[in-house]
Structure 1
Amino acid sequence: MRDWRAKNEVKPSPITNKDGMTEQEFLQKYDASRYARPSVTVDMLIFTVADEQEPNYRKLSPKSLQILLVKRADHPFMGQWALPGGFVSPDESLEEAALRELREETNIDDIYLEQLYTWGEVNRDPRTRVISASYMALVDSERLEVKAGDDADDARWFRVEDKWLRENKIATETGTITEKWVALRFWNEAEELSATVKITRTVSGRTVREEREIVETNQVAFDHAKIIQYALERLRNKIEYTDIAFALMPELFTLTELQQVYEVILGKELLAAAFRRKVADKVIETNHYRKHAGHRPSKYYRFHPEWTDQA
């Protein structure tokens, strides 16, 4: 016996637009050239904390925060230093493009990249309209063999530091405008680069807007100085509530070594007792000790694999 419901079932009408086209018909006739298509690039911010030379064997080697830069081999900004990066192909995702460009320009492969921010100012690239997705990673540079690829003349680690220069705060009818100037310095044994970035934070009622502009730059290409300054802020924020710092640590480490990494990234000294309370949930105590001349044995710890972000 046939189901009377099947006999009397009414098929729904296809959804059409104002021109009477179904979605399939619309896509068949769609003209992608109706709209200008900007180029898309990826830029990678690869940070590390590296040991400095320390003549006193009784002390831990001092450390510095460093960033990987590549020297541009062609116009524009030929001969200047930039973040590793390049154009995204139509057949690859942003992350695939980031990993490919990083491998081609620096020989670094198989690292975890986290998307940082998308930069879309109209005139940020003198060649054409370019929108860039930036990615960030904190890595152990001793495990990497950096080597410039075909698209770069050189690839080097630069020590990086930022310094607040001055601040200006203006009251408005609906809120405030705060202007801050920050100086960036990059250096290694061969070269020194610099830039100044102005940050304008506008508060109007419940709306907050933050803008960055490069006031001056010395051998830092494109708008990469302000991308780096923003990344430094994010890195310092992330180290407070994530496990990102442990990407730099060996399997076993002392709390003093871990504190030193935190201090370098945050750019300030930390009280040992307060720091130990802060990271207590992130580490596991072991029965191993570090022994070296002139020091009391220091207990080794390891990262707690079951710790999760509390944010």
Structure 2
Amino acid sequence: MKEKFIKNKQGLTEEEFLKQYDSAIYEKPSLTVDMLIFTVMEEEKENYRKLAEKSLKILLVKRGNHPDMGKWALPGGFVLTDESLDDAALRVLRKETNIENIYMEQLYTWGEVNRDPRTRVISSSYMALVDSSSLSIKAGNNEEDARWFNIEYNLLSENSLDIESGESFEEIVEIKLWNNSEEISAKIRVIENIDGRIRREIIESVGLAFDHGKFIEYAISRLRNKVEYTSLAFNLMPELFTLTELQKVYEIIQGKELLAAAFRRKISNMVVETNEFTKDVGHRPSKLFRYNPRWKRIK
């Protein structure tokens, strides 16, 4: 109780201070959430006897108003005064995908001063992973269209820098995004300082709004890193799946082929075998598995 009567240098208690506090003293930046919604989808196959090819896709929306009108952007929105960042992100997810209970995590906060020409806007980016079979995509009120884009992540160059400048290493990364009707891209410079801090700069952006190319590059890097030591990839899977399908999703995320024997040893505790098999396929039926939520407890 005594804490309520502690006074500051002006002789005010906390209650008195809050009553006279002027919130207009500081200019208020706007705050947004931007969603990186990933899924894995099967591409059309020419031969029904072959396994369908899968690809990692990201949801983008075409802006229907200035600034960057007509360009493709991440789904997002301004945070309301009565909601948390997570609540704002969930609201955007529900609006764009029409489903709930999606895996979601906060990735990074982007606060460059001039990143939005309208006003000072700070954006918190979130990554969501969804099973494509449960999706119902629609464009928002201020958007012309909402579409899935294939993703290609290319490391163009790696260079050691002059340590005396405070920068030790850089990568130039190209992100290509395309679907049946459009192709867009961005080139990003990723600089690591000698103290371990990393910053990202847009070198070139074609068809992408704002600085969203950086958001996508960072999210893919994060996804590739986390899939190595977590069960993240299972959020992209249906309830039942084959081990071949699961391996393919890992390969798509990591951008490389994996040895089947080593992969199956790695994920052996993470899956549970069922008594069900694939149906309506042009090849030999395969055993179906499901995710084991207790895998971390297995020695």
* TM-score of the two chains, using structure 1 as the length reference: 0.90
Q: Deviation of residue 265 (structure 1)?
A: 1.0
Deviations 1:224-247 (A, max 9, x none): 000000000011112122222112
Q: Is 1:274 aligned to 2:265, yes or no?
A: no
Report the secondary structure of 2:66's partner residue. Answer: coil
Name the residue aligned to 1:108.
98
Q: Is 1:261 aligned to 2:249, yes or no?
A: yes
Deviations 1:37-81 (A, max 9, x none): 110000000001110112122221111110000000100000000
- Given that 2:63 and 2:72 are in contact with CA atoms closer than 8 Å, whether structure 1 keeps it comes out as yes
CA distance 1:307–1:37, change in 2 (3 Å): same
List aligned pairs for 1:66-105, cutoff 5 A: 66-104=57-95
Match of 1:236, as an amino acid?
R
Match of 2:202, as an amino acid?
I
Match of 1:120, as an amino acid?
G
Match of 1:247, as an amino acid?
N
Name the residue aligned to 2:191.
200
Output the CA distance in 2 between the equivalents of 1:180 and 1:158. Answer: 24
- Given that 1:99 and 1:109 are in contact with CA atoms closer than 8 Å, whether structure 2 keeps it comes out as no
Report the secondary structure of 2:197's partner residue. Answer: strand
Point out 4+ residue stretches in structure 1 off by more than 4 angstroms. 173-176, 291-294
Q: Is 1:303 aligned to 2:291, yes or no?
A: yes
Q: 1:251 aligns with which of 239, 244, 248?
A: 239
* TM-score of the two chains, using structure 2 as the length reference: 0.93
Q: 2:7 aligns with which of 16, 30, 38?
A: 16
Deviations 1:114-168 (A, max 9, x none): 1111111111111111111111111112211111121211000000111011121
Q: Is 1:179 aligned to 2:170, yes or no?
A: yes
Report the secondary structure of 1:183's partner residue. Answer: strand
Deviations 1:214-265 (A, max 9, x none): 0011110001000000000011112122222112222221111110111111
What is the RMSD of the two structures over their aligned residues, measured on CA atoms? 2.0
Match of 1:197, as an amino acid?
I
Q: Deviation of residue 176 (structure 1)?
A: 5.5
Output the CA distance in 1 between the equivalents of 2:56 and 2:254. Answer: 10
Report the secondary structure of 1:67's partner residue. Answer: strand
Q: Is 1:239 aligned to 2:227, yes or no?
A: yes
Match of 1:67, as an amino acid?
I
Name the residue aligned to 1:4.
none
Q: Deviation of residue 291 (structure 1)?
A: 5.5
Q: Percent identical across equivalent pairs?
A: 60
Q: 1:219 aligns with which of 203, 207, 210?
A: 207
